[in-house]
Amino acid sequence: MDMKVRNRRPDLPVSSHVKLDKQDKALITLIQAGLPLSSTPYTDLGHDLGMTEREVIERLKHLMQDNIIKRFGVVVRHHELGYRSNAMTVWNVPDEQVSELGHCIGQFDFVTLSYRRPRRLPDWPYNLFTMIHGQNRGHVLKNIQFLIERCNLDRVEHQVLFSTRRFKQRGAIYHPFNKGLSDDPQTAG
C-alpha cells in the first residue's frame, strides 16, 4: 500500500464562514446523522424537507463545489479495521518548504492528515503535523521511514508521538451545526 499516491490537492487556508440559506441548513442538519439506506435516499430527504429530489441533489452538488462538504461517502473506524496504531508526527520544516513537504507527505495513503500549525517557540519548534496510521507501532515507524526517504526529510528534525490513551471522543461537537465533522479524532483542530 505504501506506493499508492493521491493527486496533489490545493493549499487550503483556514476557511472563512460562508452564508447558507435556510434550506441548505435544514439539509445539512438532516444528513449529518447519515444518508438514508433506501433505494432513493435523495427523494426521502426531499420528502422530509419539502424539496424535490432534483433540488436535494443540486444543493448537495453546490455544497461540494463550495467545499462545505469535503467528502461524501463512508467514514471507517480505523481501529476496528486493523489500524491499531496512530502517530502524530511533527516536523520542524523551514517556512519556505512547508507547503511542498506538506503536500509530499499528504499524497501517501497511510497519511490521514497533513496540516501546517504555528510554532510555539522556544518550547515547540514543529510546524508541520501529520497523522500516520499503521497496524502496529513497527508498521507506523516503517511508514515514517518511507516518508523520510520519499520526501527527502532526512535532515528535518521530527518527533513521533504515539497515542497511548483516548479520553474523549464525542460524536457531536459543541456547535450544533458541526456534528458531521468531528467524530474522528484526526479530523478536527
Contact string (CB under 8 A) for other proteins, positions 48-87, x = contact: -----x---x--xx-x--xxxxxxxxxxxxx-xxxx----
Reading the block at residue 65, the C-alpha cell is: 463545489
Nearer to other proteins, 141 or 185 (CB): 185
Instruction: Determine the distance from the C-alpha atom of residue 87 to the mean position of all C-alpha atoms in its chain, rounded to a whole number.
Output: 15
Selected from 14, 94, 122, 154, the binder of other proteins by CB under 8 A is: 14
Contact string (CB under 8 A) for other proteins, positions 114-143, x = contact: xxxxx-x--xx----x---x----------
Nearer to other proteins, 73 or 94 (CB): 73
Report strand pairing: 85-92 vs 128-134.
antiparallel
Dihedral sign for Cα atoms in the order 117, 119, 124, 128: positive
User: Is residue 156 a contact residue for other proteins (CB under 8 A)?
Assistant: no
Least distance between other proteins and beta carbon 101 (Å): 9
User: Is residue 146 a contact residue for other proteins (CB under 8 A)?
Assistant: no
For residues 34-60, one letter each, b for 16 or more C-beta atoms within 10 angstroms of the residue's C-beta and e for the rest, the string is eebeeeeebbbbbeebebeeebbeebb
Residue 133 near residue 84 (C-beta atoms within 8 A): no
Least distance between other proteins and beta carbon 6 (Å): 7
User: Is residue 22 a contact residue for other proteins (CB under 8 A)?
Assistant: no
User: Is residue 5 a contact residue for other proteins (CB under 8 A)?
Assistant: no
By CB under 8 A, the residues from 86 to 105 that bind other proteins are 88, 98-99, 102-103, 105
Give the CA distances from residue 104 to residues 61, 83, 148, 151, 164, in Å, rounded to whole numbers and listed in that order: 29, 22, 10, 6, 27
Nearer to other proteins, 149 or 172 (CB): 172
